[in-house]
Amino acid sequence: MIAEQKVFDKLRLQESLIKNFQEVIHHIQDELVEKKSMADLEEGDTLDPEDYSKQNESNEMVHLLKNQLQKTLLEIDKLARIDFSKKDKVCTGALVKTEKFMFFIGVAISPFAFEGNQIVGVSIEAPIYHSIRDKIIGDKFEFAGIKDKIIAIY
């Protein structure tokens, strides 16, 4: 008897991924506001060297947060261009279930819950993608010393 394969609503998956990225953007923007306010010194205040040190540190954080915000916006743009249709092999836009993990191929994202599953977003530049690219259901692979098998592709 063949086990019935669960059907995933990949458009809901796309919405969920976009929502995750939007939450990251909101968090970065909040941090930017906080760090920018810390970087601004009042002209009339008496300042000591520690104040200038904190200002420099805050300015560096603002710069790093702006870079992180730009990268996240690029990831959302990339995500919007991915074809979320059903896939028969591991490629961009595939949702891949293995015996140990569940991956979405196309963008890097920390593990998140979707329809009762923990899913990890994998960039096509990631080393693991090169280990599983073009594989089909039933194919085995090894990555970082871990052996696994693809049991479903959506």
Q: Where are the beta strands (DSSP E) in 1-154?
A: 95-98, 102-106, 109-114, 117-123, 140-143, 146-153
The pLDDT value given to residue 48:
54
pLDDT band per the 50, 70, 90 thresholds, residue 4: very low
**pLDDT at site 133:** 97
Record the pTM.
0.76
Structure tokens given for 22: 């939007």
* pLDDT tens sequence across 72-114: 999 999 999 999 999 999 999 999 999 999 999 999 988 999 9
Q: Coil, helix or strand for 110?
A: strand
Q: Cα(142)–Cα(148) distance, rounded to whole angstroms?
A: 6
- Residue 51 confidence class, pLDDT cut points 50, 70, 90: low
